[in-house]
Structure 1
Amino acid sequence: MASGARQRALAAEIRDARKKSGWEAQAVAQRLGWSKATMSRVESGARAITEADLAAILAIIGVTGTERDRLLGMAHDLHQPGWWESRATAGLPAQLTAVLGFEREALRITELTLALVPGLLQTADYARAVMSGGGVPAPEADARVAVRVGRQEVITRRRAPVELTALIDEGALLRPVGTPGVMADQVHRLISIGKRTNVTIQVLPFGVHPGIDGPFLFYEFAKAPSIVHVEHHSASAFLDEPEDVSAYDALRSTVLAAALSAVESAELLATYARDWEGRGT
C-alpha cells in the first residue's frame, strides 16, 4: 500500500518537473493517451503512479540523468513497506500507520499536547506506563512501545532530520505517569533532546491558553501541501482542505506566542526534573 505522504511528495515533484520543462499538463496527458483529469489526479497525489508511467512522463518532458533516477526511486519506494509494516509491529491501526508515514516524509512537525508528553519525545518507560494506565495488555504494549521509540528516529537521523516544535502544556509535566523516577527520566529526556538544533520545546504555562481545546499535529512537507492530524478519545482525522489547514496554521501561531520561550521552557523543565528526583528519594 502506497504511503499517502510519499505519494503526495512524488506528485508535487512530477508537477514541478513538468512545469519547469514548459509542458502543459493536457499536452503530456495526450501523449500518454490519458485524459486531462487523470493527469491532474496524478499531479495532485490522488492517483498512484507506476514506475513505467513515470518513466514515460519523464521521457516526454525531457528529464534525464540523476534527476530521472531520483524520481523513479521515489516511485519505487511508494509501495515499499515502512519499518513498522515489516516487523512485529504489523497490524497497526490505519490511522497510526498513516501518522508514521507522514512523520518520515515531513520537513517540519509542530505538535501540541495537553495531557501527555509528545510521543516523539517519550522514553520507553514513560510510554509503557502510559499504555499500562490505559489498560493495554503487556504483549501488545511491548509492540506499541517499540513503535513509539522507533518513530523517534525521524528527529535523530543523520540525514535531514525532521524539525520538531513541541508545545507541551505544563500539566503534562506535573501529571505522574509511572514512578517519580520515570517522570524524572522523561523530563531529563526533554531537556536533552531540546538541545538538538532541529528540536524546539516550548511549555504552555498553567491557565487557559489558545490550544486548550485540543491537541493537534501540523505536518509540513518540502513540496506537498501541509496536513493536520487531530485526535480525540473516540475518533481521529487528517485535515487537508486549505481552509482547515489555514485555520490550524493561525492557531499554531497564536499558541506559539502564548508559550514560554525555548530558554524559559528549559529552565522550567530543569525545575520539574529536580522536583521529580526529590520525590523519588
Structure 2
Amino acid sequence: MLLTSVIIILREVLEAALLLSILLAMSHLLHLRLRWFYTALAAGTAGAVVYGVQLAAISDAFGGVGQELLNVALQIAIYLLLLVIASLLVVNYYAANYYAGECYRGILSAAMTTAVAMAVLREGSEIFIYLSAFRYSPQPWSGVLAGSLLGAGIGFSIGALFYYLLVGLPRRRALLATCALLTLVAGGMVLQATQLLIQADWLPAQVPLWDSSALVAEGSLTGQMMYALLGYEATPTSLQVILYTASVAAMALLLLLTRYHQKKIRAARDVSQVR
C-alpha cells in the first residue's frame, strides 16, 4: 500500500503542482498579488470535497460516464483558460501604459484563479476519493498515509523546483520558458480529455501508433512527470496525437500573433513619441 499510495498521490499532486508553480512564477514575473492563489486553493479544495461526496450521483449521470465527462469539461475549460492566461502574459509584458497593464492584470488574475481552482478541484477530488476508500478498510492506515505524504512531498518538491528555476531566469527568458511550459501543459490537458472521451466511448478506440513503455514506463517517476507536463501516454492513438498536436499548435500560433501585435503597438508608440 505504501508504494501504491506514493504513485497515485504523486500523479495527482504533480499535475496541480506544476501548473501552480508556472502560474506563481508568472505572478512573480508580473509582480501580481497572491490573493488569487489563496482564493483558488480555497475554492478548489471545497469543490474537491463536494465532488468526492457526490461521486456516486456524478458517476451515474449520462449513462454511467458522468465522472469522465465532468473531468473532460474541466480539462477543456482549463485548456481554454490557459490560452487566455498565456496571451495575457504576453500582453502584460508588452503593456503600453500602466492603466492598460492594470486592466489586463485584473483579467489575468481572474483567469488564473479559475484555472487553478478547477485543477485543484479535479486532482483534489481524486485524492479525496482514494483516501475515502480506506475509511472502512481492515488494512492499517499507516502505509496509506505514509505513502500519500511521501507522494505529495515529492510532487510539491518538483513543483517548487520548477518555480525557482523560472524565477531565477532573466525576465525575457522567463517569459519564453513560461509560455512554452503553459503550451505543453495545455496540450496535455487536451490529450487527457481525449483519453477520457475514448474511455467513455464518446470517441472511437483505435490501434496505438506506438508503445514507448519500454523506454519510459507510465508508472515511473519520469513517466509521472511527463504525464503531468505533457499528458504522456505510452500507447497513443492517431486521434490522440492529432488532437494534441492541434491544441499545441493553436496555442503557439496564438502566442506568436499576440506577441507580433503587441510589438507593433509598442513600435507605433515609440514612433509617435519621437515625433
TM over 0.5: no
Q: TM-score range by the shorter chain?
A: under 0.3
* Greater relative contact order structure (CA < 8 Å, 6+ sep): 2
TM score, norm. by length of structure 2: 0.26
